[in-house]
């Protein structure tokens, strides 16, 4: 049996040779397929063995209790958890009555691969049964971008050597057995067999099932149909029961003969629609997919991805691993949001159940910046989802005696699901993150209809929150006290710089949007006096500064706290929150993830260049990166400050978070924000992209390890291509009218089809800042030779696991 898997570094493909049955959870996440509507983990076709089965439908969840030792005002009463819905991936094979199972018999070869330009997961296997019968299996799997309710499968069995009786069983299974839940037993009970059967039917080659979740009452329809090719003696049998359906094909294959099956799988789900309506929806989608056929769906998939890569591809020369990783990242970011269509983009996408399938502020702050420039329709629909949750956010604000809306820190449906009140209650910055995403989307796309219909209301309600949450002190400063910023090792702090600066941007953006849409603003109760109060609060916003140290404290008084004892903190004691009480963390200078550094990235015009250099060095010495949300932000500021090799190290950490399983938890699903962060590190870091107004700015510089960087951006009706080498940057408007941009502060007018090349000024030499002992960015050994080298499945990683983001 092949026990060790290896992954090849290739520019467009993730390829696994061999199979490690002890590490299936990781590969299931890496090979997960999704379109933002449906998500299928990369489980083996036959289902067993598995790390973690997973079939997910965006927003389909179950309610579970949130236990508290002591009740508190405003605590959420129940949580929401993504559930494993009806599994239609299963295709079991029996060869002369022996079940195909890679753990038995002889596995001569096993390979899986996915080309990011094709979007199809391919598998090729040669297996000899315990009785000595050899077969070759080839399969393909896709989740359609063009037909959002459809997944499709190709399965081919070939007899090798002797004749073989083969049986292929294609299944639909609800409430399948999952690994033992080790958390709260009340939550486990709530999630055990969450689907209640309402209907099942089988006929010809088609099976239908309908279920409803026990507590959240979401109705789910699943249907499958099939086409078989092979010897004339094929027999096909169909059956169903409440939680299962099966289509079985059997035939005797002579040596060299093949049995081929195409399987179409359709889903429909709703909280409101009736059983007949959902049944008809799934049936109609199935008929359309069958009409398209397997080859037609593959062609549609390729055409969709061709269009995406034509505008979104990032080319990196000099680091083959990063080249592969950034395309892997872009592919999964697209999968997370492409057809989400007014549903959330979870922190894990639809690749696993990590974080209970919740969406956080990660979506607006990390994922949407990428989608806004590369797949703006997906970004718009994610913001429209936030808009649909406004009534719940208003209710939450009213509960806290605040105006406007209070959006949840973590959620699926729109209600706050965090029982950890310093985050779930006090992390108000999520409001400003949403507003920032709205302003960015409108700025980049010039979508005035969205701004008028949905964006303005989001900006208005978030601005109202800040105006009621903050207050003017006796010195006339506008303060926002008692909040939790992005760094979760500091909580309930006064005047967190990130929060205050982002709130300032939120207030100004709301006032400006209200001025652009006075009629709609009046409908929302915004008049000149209200807008003026927002501008006044923004102008008076208090931003703490420590003149003695010459740096900005992360929040008021932070630089006066006792420093954490990094020298005596052992490697195995990271992440700190699993080994030390929050009380210790909250009162010391230690940073879980970029906070003040993120403020400098998002609100760079609030700092001088010298302040950025001093701030960055100060917080490098305090940041332990116990969150995957940090490396890309540190990469961007390292590049801006001139620490290019350090920025390259952070880029690699963000880009390889899952391919190298750095935090030892890729099995639970991919880190979508960190994947998006690889694009951010390249485009905002080494490309120097800054775009907060009418003129887009670049300040590109490459580290020694990269020789060329090329990327595309959709900006205000244009497709702009940027190519960076060590000596110069070239800007080309590939489509759309001429545009003005800034290159290292110099104004440049770029005409369509007329590239402008400009020299890159030298970077000043600076001393590389130091990180806490043992928390330096990981140093990876580049594979020898070119991109065709294999890398071991054993990841380069650091002790401790990521516990947020």
Residue listed under structure tokens 């050597």: 161
Q: If we measure between CA atoms, which residue out of 425, 424, 412 comes closest to residue 80?
A: 412
Distance from CA of residue 196 to its chain's centroid?
30
Which positions ≥6 away from 163 have C-beta within 8 Å? Answer: 252, 253, 254, 255
- Give the angle subtended at the CA of 149 by the CAs of 81 and 307, to the nearest 5°: 110
**Contact call for residues 412 and 442 (beta carbons, < 8 A):** no
Phi and psi for 447 in degrees, rounded to 5?
A: -85, 85
Tell me which residue of 95, 63, 67 sits closest to 79, measured CA to CA. 63
* Burial class of 204 by CB neighbour count within 10 A (0 to 12, 13 to 18, 19+): exposed
Up-side HSE of residue 402: CA atoms within 13 Å toward CB? 26
- Reported in sequence order, the residue ranges of 424-481 that DSSP labels E, i.e. its strands, are 471-472, 478-479
SS3 345: coil
User: Which secondary-structure segment (H or E) carries 197?
Assistant: strand 195-203
| Interacting residues of 161 by C-beta distance below 8 A, sequence separation 6+ | 133, 134, 255
User: Residue 754 in contact with residue 760, Cβ under 8 Å?
Assistant: no
Distance CA 550, CA 612 (A): 11
CB 604 within 8 A of CB 690: yes
| Nearest-5° Cα angle at 528, 525 to 529 | 85
Tokens of 692: 């907060």
Q: Minimal CA–CA distance to 285: which of 203, 224, 202?
A: 224
The three state secondary structure string of 352-397 is CCHHHHCECCHHHHHHHHHHHHHCHHHHHHHHHHHHHCHHHHHHHH
Residue with tokens 């010195």: 475
Nearest partner of 795 among 686, 664, 683, 673, judged by Cα: 664
The two three-digit tokens of residue 40, written as one number: 């299928």
**What token pair was written down for 152?**
């499709």
720 near 756, Cβ under 8 Å? no
Q: CA–CA separation, 161 vs 19, rounded Å?
A: 24
Q: Which of 156, 488, 556, 640 is catalytic?
A: 488
| Residue 767 is a catalytic residue | no
Q: Which two tokens stand for residue 354?
A: 């990590």
User: 575: which strand partners?
Assistant: none
- For 254, counting Cβ atoms within 10 Å of its Cβ (0-12 exposed, 13-18 middle, 19+ buried), the class is exposed
Helix orientation angle between 456-469 and 497-516, rounded to the nearest 10 degrees: 130
Cβ(608)–Cβ(616) below 8 Å = no
CA distance 381 to 371: 11
304: number of Cβ within 10 Å: 17
Q: How many CB atoms lie within 10 A of CB 422?
A: 18
Catalytic residues: 488
């Amino acid at each position: 049996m092949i026990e060790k898997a290896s992954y090849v570094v290739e520019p467009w493909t993730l390829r696994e040779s061999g199979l490690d049955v002890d590490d299936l959870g990781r590969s299931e996440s890496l090979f997960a397929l999704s379109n933002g509507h449906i998500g299928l983990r990369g489980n083996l076709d036959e289902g067993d063995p598995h790390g973690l089965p997973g079939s997910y439908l965006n927003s389909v969840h179950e309610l579970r209790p949130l236990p508290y030792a002591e009740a508190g005002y405003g605590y959420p009463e129940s949580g929401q958890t993504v559930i494993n819905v009806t599994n239609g991936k299963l295709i079991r094979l029996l060869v002369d009555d022996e079940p195909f199972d890679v753990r038995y018999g002889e596995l001569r070869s096993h390979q899986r691969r996915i080309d990011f330009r094709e979007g199809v997961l391919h598998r090729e296997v040669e297996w000899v049964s315990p009785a000595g019968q050899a077969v070759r299996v080839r399969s393909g799997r896709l989740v359609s971008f063009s037909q959002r309710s459809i997944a499709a499968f190709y399965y081919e069995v070939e007899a090798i050597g002797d004749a073989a009786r083969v049986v292929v069983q294609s299944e639909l299974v609800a409430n399948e057995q999952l690994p033992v839940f080790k958390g709260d037993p009340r939550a486990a009970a709530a999630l055990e067999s969450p689907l209640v059967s309402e209907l099942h039917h089988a006929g010809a080659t088609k099976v239908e099932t309908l279920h409803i979740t026990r507590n959240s009452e979401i109705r789910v329809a699943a249907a499958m149909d099939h086409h078989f090719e092979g010897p004339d003696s094929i027999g096909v049998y169909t059956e169903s029961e409440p939680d299962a359906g099966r289509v079985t094909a059997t035939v005797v294959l002579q040596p060299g003969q093949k049995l081929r099956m195409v399987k179409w799988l359709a889903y429909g789900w709703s909280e409101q629609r009736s059983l007949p309506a959902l049944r008809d929806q799934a049936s109609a989608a199935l008929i359309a997919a069958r009409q398209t056929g397997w080859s037609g769906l593959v062609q549609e998939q390729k055409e969709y991805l061709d269009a995406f890569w034509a505008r979104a591809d990032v080319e990196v020369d000099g680091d083959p691993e990063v080249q592969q990783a950034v395309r892997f990242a872009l592919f999964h970011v697209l999968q997370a949001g492409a057809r989400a269509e007014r549903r959330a983009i979870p922190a894990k996408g639809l690749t696993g159940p990590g974080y209970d399938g919740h969406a956080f502020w990660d979506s607006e702050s990390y994922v949407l910046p990428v989608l806004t420039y590369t797949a703006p329709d997906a970004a718009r629909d994610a913001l429209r989802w936030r808009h649909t949750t406004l009534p719940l956010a208003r209710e939450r604000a009213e509960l806290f005696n605040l105006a406007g809306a209070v959006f949840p820190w973590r959620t699926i449906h729109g209600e706050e699901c965090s029982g950890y009140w310093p985050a779930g209650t006090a992390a108000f910055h999520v409001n400003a993150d949403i507003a920032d995403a709205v302003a960015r989307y409108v700025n980049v796309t010039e979508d005035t209809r969205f701004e008028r219909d949905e964006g303005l209301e989001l900006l208005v309600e978030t601005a109202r929150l800040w105006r009621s949450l903050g207050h003017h002190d006796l010195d006339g400063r506008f303060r926002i006290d008692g909040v939790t910023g992005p760094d979760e090792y500091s909580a309930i702090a006064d005047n967190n710089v990130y929060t205050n600066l982002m709130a300032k941007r939120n207030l100004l953006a709301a006032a400006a949007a209200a001025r652009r849409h006075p009629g709609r603003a009046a409908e929302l109760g915004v008049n000149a006096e209200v807008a003026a109060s927002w501008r006044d609060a923004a102008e008076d916003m208090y931003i703490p500064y420590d003149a003695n140290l010459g740096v900005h404290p992360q929040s008021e008084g932070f630089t006066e706290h006792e420093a954490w004892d990094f020298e005596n903190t052992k490697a195995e004691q990271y992440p700190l929150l699993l080994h030390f009480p929050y009380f210790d963390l909250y009162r010391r200078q230690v940073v879980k993830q970029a906070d003040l550094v993120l403020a400098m990235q998002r609100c760079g015009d609030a700092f001088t260049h010298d302040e950025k250099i001093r701030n960055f060095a100060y917080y490098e010495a305090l940041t332990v990166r116990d969150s995957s949300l940090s490396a890309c932000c540190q990469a961007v500021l390292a590049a801006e400050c001139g620490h290019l090799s350090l920025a390259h190290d952070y880029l690699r950490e963000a880009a390889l978070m899952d391919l190298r399983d750095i935090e030892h938890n890729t099995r639970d699903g991919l880190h979508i924000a960190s994947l998006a962060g690889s694009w951010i590190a390249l485009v905002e870091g080494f490309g120097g992209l800054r775009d907060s107004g009418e003129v887009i700015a670049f300040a590109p510089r490459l580290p020694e390890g990269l020789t060329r960087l090329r990327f595309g951006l959709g900006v205000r009706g244009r497709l702009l291509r940027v190519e960076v080498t060590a000596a110069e940057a070239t800007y080309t408007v590939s489509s759309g009218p001429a545009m003005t941009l800034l290159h290292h502060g110099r104004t440049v007018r770029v005409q369509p089809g007329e590239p402008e090349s400009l020299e890159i000024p030298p970077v000043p030499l600076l001393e590389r800042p130091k990180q806490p002992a043992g928390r330096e960015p990981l140093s990876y050994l580049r594979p020898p030779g070119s991109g065709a080298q294999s890398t071991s499945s054993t990841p380069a990683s650091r002790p401790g696991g990521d516990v947020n983001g």
